[in-house]
Structure 1
């Protein structure tokens, strides 16, 4: 992977560190993760649920290397109770998140057309109309307003529902299920929500076996009918795509909070709209998108990294949050600097498991923040920054509400 991956003398593995679930306020970087980054490029962790321990890679170059290395696989995770943050873990067959090649490409192919750059260009006018309708209600009612409730939550929900093909009458229920699934409140509630969501998805895919539509559920229904993928695989593939809309609300909530509490950033966004892309990319690098780490990989053979042997069968986590704060790649990484010259951030992942909906998420982010700034002059928090409530017991971090005036 790099010059340090192979040595003649194997080092003793580091001590296993417990990483408890912690509710963090604001955009604070996880102090446990910061400690792990300082302790070494490769550490070992034990999370609140699952069994045993796992390796953790935090350096940018190592994260990129591991996520591109076929010696680390995801499929094996579905057969193990790997140490993890979530109390519930019941992966579905067909989920892209747990597919290795060549299955990964086979599963991704039926829905790839719904998330291309050209598809997003076609979607953009419709998405802007959806957003404009929401903004008209906010402007009409006047300040103050909770922009999470009024805009940041309903907009991604509606857009993702349009892309997926969720009927308007079902969208509130689907949103309730997805919100419960990403929480860490308890396995029973999450299991009921998963059963509800995946049962609905199964019925929807079956009903669209002969559809000619270009929404995701129609594409999956047609692919199952052509026997390109199984129904079980189609359902497992659709679920995470549907749940992904929750991330846009949380991410944009964090980004808007930073703009509202850092006048120099807000001024730059307003005064130099042609450079907003650079600001958004730097904010995506900076925000602590999630709690802890995401999904593990399993070493399929012995691999040496930084003088330590990762043995076949051992689980490995990578931290994209840590990679995005690697001081060797991003000097002074805890400072927001839209003018920094550095490699691309890893906020949407890397390698074969790069986020399927990344282009859609970026489109929504650009529209949301740009439209809010243009339609609400003098936008500011209606409460003190420390009084903004943050989501608790959830894997995806963000403000619970953003009371604003303008």
Structure 2
């Protein structure tokens, strides 16, 4: 790509900004992203890995347009080394994240039944039982306790394993693989070993469930392969990211709890008005900086003009849901956490065809975690000063590494 082919006559394209991921503590919003948001609705960035530069959309309307416009596709990203955050990039065929229509709908349809509203209603009582058992042990042993280690990590592992159909004996190993895959440290060799182990296990499990009538994801995929609706390669590519997605709940909820435990007025407001719980939860989802930098790029399939700039066919394009969630034209006083904000059309689970498959599951788990911990542990508070809480490093999903807490 050259400067000449990216701009309309008479207007220079914005400069390319190097976006090196900072190691941020707490719920601090990325200062580089703040600068990019102020520079305009469309900027250009270069991330630490890959090649070249990419467009970045930061305003709400542009983010929604790009993510729902078939002129921007994901499939070509899998075959190119576009500028990116992740050092180890090797997409597998069949992944929903890199599928365009009509393949995307064909693939998503095979697992949709495991993530419906009805499926979540059926899952909720069992998920509550799993959570109650974990909290019972914490209460019995007494304070202090690391809520990440004791509750926020094991609970989503157990729930996503139930939804996926991972046997209890295999869950710790599967979790170890997913943790290594999303970590940006350890090098390519460690990441590849984890991927090889997890995808090999998924392949064997899907083969063993050919013709299954089970309602878990791996059984649904095994049955779909046996009926010829998708290939085995596609089934494995589908299952992996869904399994890894369970990691997000731990760290998103960890951020929310840290925020509440360091803001007594917010915690009191949440407890005082249980009837507006859902409204408050939407605001927490909007406000927390749930990831580092940006996610996956799209590729322009044809020339597209936005704000007097021409995005050329073949140009990579990123959107920032974090930035869109702070757009002042949509969210008045966007940097203020307002637990009464309503309406709240946040984009924390994405938008368009690639809207998060497990959004209902994630929300269910966060809802149960916050409700149960705040109810079962009276006067819950940090057991250490806020600046002593350790935060995850070299990772794509932000959150506390540990959350030492105490209670009365």
Task: Quickly name the TM-score band, shorter chain normalised.
Answer: over 0.9
Report the TM-score, using the length of structure 1 for normalisation.
0.97
Deviation string, structure 1 residues 33-68 (Cα, Å, up to 9, x no partner): 001001111000000000000000000000000000
> Alignment length, in residue pairs?
400
CA contact (8 A) 1:381 1:402 kept: yes
Alignment correspondent of 1:4: none
Residue 109 of structure 1 pairs with residue 135 of structure 2: no
Q: CA RMSD in A?
A: 1.0
Q: What is the CA distance between 1:342 and its match in structure 2?
A: 4.1
Tell me how far apart the structure 1 counterparts of residues 161 and 250 of structure 2 sit (CA, whole Å): 14
Deviation string, structure 1 residues 363-395 (Cα, Å, up to 9, x no partner): 001000000011001100000011110000000
Alignment correspondent of 1:86: 86
Alignment correspondent of 1:273: 274
Cα distance, 1:10–1:240 mapped onto 2, change above 3 Å: farther
Deviation string, structure 1 residues 187-222 (Cα, Å, up to 9, x no partner): 221111111110110000000002111000000000
Runs of 5+ consecutive residues of structure 2 not aligned to the other structure: 1-6
Q: What is the CA distance between 1:9 and its match in structure 2?
A: 5.3
Tell me how far apart the structure 2 counterparts of residues 276 and 139 of structure 1 sit (CA, whole Å): 24
Tell me how far apart the structure 2 counterparts of residues 233 and 383 of structure 1 sit (CA, whole Å): 46
CA contact (8 A) 2:282 2:344 kept: no
Runs of 5+ consecutive residues of structure 1 not aligned to the other structure: 1-6
Alignment correspondent of 1:157: 157
Cα distance, 1:309–1:372 mapped onto 2, change above 3 Å: same
Alignment correspondent of 1:302: 303
Report the TM-score, using the length of structure 2 for normalisation.
0.97
CA contact (8 A) 2:296 2:318 kept: yes
Tell me how far apart the structure 1 counterparts of residues 33 and 68 of structure 2 sit (CA, whole Å): 23
Paired residue secondary structure (2:112): helix
Tell me how far apart the structure 1 counterparts of residues 211 and 38 of structure 2 sit (CA, whole Å): 55
Paired residue secondary structure (1:55): strand
CA contact (8 A) 1:209 1:218 kept: yes
Paired residue secondary structure (2:212): coil
Matches within 5 A, 1:31-110: 31-110=31-110
Paired residue secondary structure (1:317): strand
Matches within 5 A, 1:2-401: 11-185=11-185, 186-401=187-402
Tell me how far apart the structure 2 counterparts of residues 228 and 264 of structure 1 sit (CA, whole Å): 53
Q: What is the CA distance between 1:329 and its match in structure 2?
A: 1.1
CA contact (8 A) 1:88 1:187 kept: yes
Deviation string, structure 1 residues 236-263 (Cα, Å, up to 9, x no partner): 0000000000000000000011110111
Cα distance, 1:210–1:341 mapped onto 2, change above 3 Å: closer
Q: What is the CA distance between 1:10 and its match in structure 2?
A: 5.3
Paired residue secondary structure (2:318): strand
Tell me how far apart the structure 2 counterparts of residues 14 and 191 of structure 1 sit (CA, whole Å): 37
Tell me how far apart the structure 2 counterparts of residues 28 and 367 of structure 1 sit (CA, whole Å): 25
CA contact (8 A) 1:146 1:402 kept: yes
